[in-house]
Structure 1
Amino acid sequence: MHTLEQLRAGALQGITRLQLRGGLTDFPREIFDLADTLEILDLTDNALSALPDDLPRLHKLRILFCSNNRFTELPSMLGRMPALTMVGFKANQIESVPASALPPALRWLVLTDNRIEQLPDELGRRPAMQKLMLAGNRLKSLPDTMANLHQLELLRLSANGFDTLPAWLPTLPRLAWLACAGNPWGADRAQAMSTAPARLIDWRQLTLQQRLGEGASGVIRRADWQHDGGSTPVAVKLYKGEMTSDGSPLNEMAACVAAGLHPNLIPVLGRITGHPEQTQGLVMALLDPTLVNLAGPPSFASCSRDIYDDGKRFGWQAMLAIAHGVASAAAQLHQRGILHGDLYGHNILHDDNGRCVLSDFGAAAFYAPASQAAMPLQRIEVRAFGLLLDELLERCDAPPALRAQLAALHAACTQAEVGARPLFAAIAARLHELDQSKQD
């Protein structure tokens, strides 16, 4: 993080990324002294409500973050910035998004947790758009022009006012990650699934130990659970209760419980009751520490694709086991009317032998398995699996015949004709068949 004093003293000349936080109420004009080099500007966690009309002087600016400020309108001058590809205005009080505020090269737009009721038709005229994050607003519809966003891969619509999902949504050829919980659409199903039976575990039975991790929705800690005359090591996730870019953490908790037991899902042991601050939480099985993340989350540059460690490789048996395990878990979720919404390598834990678990239900949504929307939603997620399969294949020296068969499966899962993609039950069966044929 940088300071205003450094900026005013000229000590930041030549930098490409500037981060200023700490109560700014006005845009520091000294930022323009960096116009010839500045590419990323982060003004998150300030008290700004406007940007200068001559902001396009920052002619190299590619990424702008102004989250957790006081904007009520997306600034219109952003549309005059041809190099700007990523815009983040999460957690403001934005009510208006003018058509003139959308940069022509826009690729990634974050407007989570605002007060937006309507979006302009111009949004559908941004052909480079890949990620669009709109959770936690007041939207009831989207512009029909968005049917033209043929590069859109990730869409977050959770916690809005949609009675129905747009009819064109399942026709988007590259859409793979969709979050849509917390809307009137699907509310009856969500209510029914949120009451899925789970053991209640008294907070006083839990002794918290070290922190294991923290995400947007909550904190996970190791704990000892005192019950039935003994002690069991467990993982405890305490939910923050705040809106995330994926949606409501409480919806995530309901999806974890409703997912049920599966060898490739993290077992939920119970819900926490009696927390002194009424914090919601789950008690889950403690995973083997040899399980590690398959990949890291996308970067600014990769936008929608995960980042794998350099030199990451899989044995073909392990690769096949991971692919089958994830497909089998996804098949169970879909059978129970749960869309994972974030089927990514960075949400999969694995070991060198191919053991794996699919985690992080932050973007999960409920739907009726027999509804008209069911199969189109499932096939959106099938594309996400197809992309994952391709990433696994890239890092595996599989026998040529097996590689050809898996490449064909990848092509089927990612084909532009959404309705022609296979469903997860068939995918899991095909992978099991391939695994058995290689074992024989």
Structure 2
Amino acid sequence: MNSLDQLRSGALVGAQRLTLRAGLRELPPEVYTLADTLEVLDLSGNALEDLPNELPRLHRLRVIFCSDNRFTRLPEVLGRCAALEMVGFKANQIVEVPAAALPPRLRWLILTDNRIASLPDELGRRPRLQKVALAGNRLRALPATMAACERLELLRISANQLDALPDWLLALPRLTWLAHGGNPFSAGHEARALAQAPLPTQAWQQLEVQALLGEGASGHIHRVGLPDGRQLALKVFKGEVTSDGLPSTELAACLQAGTHAGLIPALARLAGHPGGADGLLMPLIGPEFRVLAGPPSLASCTRDVYALAQPLPISAALGIASSMAAALAHLHARGLTHGDLYAHNILHDGQGQARLGDFGAASFLAAVPAAQAARLRALDVRALGCLLEELAELAGAASPRTAPGHALATLAQRCLQPDARQRPTADELALALAAIPPV
């Protein structure tokens, strides 16, 4: 984070990134002293209601974040920023998105948790559009022009007012990660899953909260002790709109998912939290397990970021791939899509054992017609194809030109076919992966 004093003193000359949290009501004019270098401007957590007409003077600006401010309208000046690719205005009070506000090079748009009821047709005329987050708004439809967004890979439209998914959306050739829970057409299925959960309950008062293990978009994970001496992990949901949607949708999906060796299972549902929050108790995953990759970066946009020195033995890569295909087949059989099958949501032990978590983008297949359900399953398969492609690359770095590595890459390409109808099912993939002989 930077300070206004640093900016005004000239200490930031030449900076490519600027982050200001200072209760700002307007953009400090000294920002323009960085016009020849500034690429990322983060103004989140201020009191801004508009941006100045001079903003295009920042001619190298590629990324702007203005979350948690007071905007009620997406500023039209953004559309005149020729290099701007990523626009993030989460958790404002935005009602209107003018067509003129969309930059010509727009690739990544974040408008989560606003009050938007409609979007302009111009959104479908941004050919580079790749990632769009719209959860927690008031949308009743998507612009039909978005059928032309053939590069779109990730879309979050959960917790809106949609009565159905448009058929054109599920026909997009590169769409991979879709979250749409918490809309009127799916709410009843989620409510039934919550009401019929077969899990026992665990009283908050009987838990010893020992340590915070981590925090995700939808909740905090703690290590807790039970009266009988066992230690478990407890996820306490935040109870607010996240980038994926509503925590209640994630909770319903966790309950619906059941038990599988490739999933992190729910053991009990929390009761009696002092703040009224929902929660799930899960096994405490051992320290030998680690996250397979980091989440996408500003540059990678939709693809995970792997450690440079992280080659995998082909046997481990095959084990992870087989486990994830089997877990996906299990979820599809249970009437769910995962919606966020990514390496950053997978824990592995380096020997081929893997666990898939994070059901924040999951959805219920029974909420859509059968033809759409088939397409939704195919989206998950494409996500698995991305993972197989990455695993093949990691294994190739460790053991180049092996027959199993080639087989893994070939299966990945089958999953990535533009026509979703030509992709294999998760069941077929699980069988094919199990049949690949290790080195």
* Contact 2:191/2:252, CA 8 A, preserved across alignment: no
Residues 155 and 178, structure 2, Cα contact 8 Å, conserved in 1 = yes
Q: Hey, what's the Cα distance between the residues in 1 that align with 2:272 and 2:40?
A: 45
CA contact (8 A) 1:202 1:274 kept: yes
Equivalent-residue separation in structure 2 for 1:278 and 1:57 (angstroms): 48
Aligned with 2:252: secondary structure?
helix
Aligned length in residues? 434
Question: Unaligned regions of 5+ residues in structure 2, if any?
Answer: none
Distance 2:51 2:317 in 1: 49
2:431 maps to which of 425, 429, 432: 429
CA distance in structure 2 between the partners assigned to 1:61 and 1:175 by the alignment? 27
Q: Which amino acid aligns with 2:89?
A: F
1:220 aligned partner: 221
Instruction: Look up the match of 1:374.
Output: 373
Instruction: Give the AA of the match of 1:209.
Output: Q
AA at the equivalent of 2:192: A
One-letter amino acid of the counterpart of residue 223, structure 1: V
Instruction: Encode CA deviations 1:357-415: one digit per residue, 9 max, x unaligned.
Output: 00111111112187332110000111110010000000112663323322221111000
Please state whether the residue corresponding to 1:155 is helix, strand or coil.
Answer: strand
Q: CA deviation at 1:10?
A: 2.2
- Structure 2 counterpart of 1:419: 421
- Aligned letter for 1:413? C
Counterpart secondary structure, 2:119 = coil
Q: Amino acid of the residue matched to residue 204 of structure 1?
A: Q
Partner of 1:257: 255
Mapped partners of 1:165, 1:54: distance in 2: 40
One-letter identity of the residue aligned with 1:187: A
Q: Distance in 2 between matches of 1:87 and 1:213?
A: 27
> CA offset at residue 77 of structure 1?
1.0
> 1:241-266 CA deviation, whole Å, 9 max, x = no partner?
11111111121122112111100111
Match of 1:394 in 2: 393
**Distance (whole Å) between structure 1 residues aligned to residue 150 and residue 343 of structure 2:** 23
Check the 8 A contact 1:224/1:233 in 2, yes or no: yes
**Equivalent residue runs for 1:41-56 within 5 Å:** 41-56=41-56
Q: How does 1:11-410 map to 2 (within 5 A)?
A: 11-195=11-195, 196-226=197-227, 230-368=228-366, 371-396=370-395, 397=399, 400-410=402-412
Distance (whole Å) between structure 2 residues aligned to residue 248 and residue 48 of structure 1: 27
Q: CA deviation at 1:419?
A: 1.2
Q: In structure 1, how many angstroms separate the alpha carbons of the residues matched to 2:203 and 2:78?
A: 51
| CA positional deviation for 1:22 | 2.7
Q: TM-score, normalising length from structure 1?
A: 0.96
Query: Once the two structures are superposed, what CA deviation does each residue of 1:136-195 show, in whole Å capped at 9, x if it has no partner?
Result: 000011111101111111000000011010110111111110000000122222222222
Moved more, 397-406 or 100-109: 397-406
- Please say which of residues 293-302 and 25-34 is displaced more in the overlay: 25-34
Question: 2-side partners of 1:103 and 1:90: how far apart?
Answer: 17
Residues 296 and 303, structure 2, Cα contact 8 Å, conserved in 1: yes
State the 1:9 CA deviation.
Answer: 2.2
Secondary structure at the aligned position of 1:317 is classed as helix
Q: CA deviation at 1:433?
A: 1.8
Distance 1:143 1:395 in 2: 39
Q: Does the 8 Å contact 1:316/1:398 carry over to 2?
A: no
Q: One-letter code of the match for 2:10?
A: G
- Root mean square deviation of aligned Cα: 1.3
SS at match of 2:167: coil
- 1:70 positional shift: 0.5
Following the alignment from structure 2 to structure 1, what is the Cα–Cα distance between the partners of residues 434 and 158? 34
1:398, 1:220 → 2: CA distance? 39
Is the 1:84–1:106 Cα contact (8 Å) retained in structure 2? yes
1:61-90 deviation digits (Å, cap 9, x = unpaired): 010000000001110011111100000000
| Stretches of 4+ aligned residues off by more than 3 angstroms | none
Does the CA contact (< 8 Å) of 2:167 and 2:372 recur in 1?
Answer: no
User: 2-side partners of 1:10 and 1:313: how far apart?
Assistant: 43
Could you tell me whether the CA contact under 8 Å between 1:190 and 1:367 is conserved in 2?
no
| Aligned partners of 2:111 and 2:134 also within 8 Å | yes
Tell me, which stretches of 5 or more residues in structure 1 are unaligned? Answer: none
**CA offsets, 1:87-146, max 9 Å, x none?**
000000111111100100011000000011111111011111110000000001111110
> TM-score of the superposition, structure 2-length normalised?
0.96
Partners in 1 of 2:334 and 2:87 — Cα distance? 36
* Post-superposition offset of 1:11: 2.1
Q: Distance in 1 between matches of 2:110 and 2:340?
A: 17
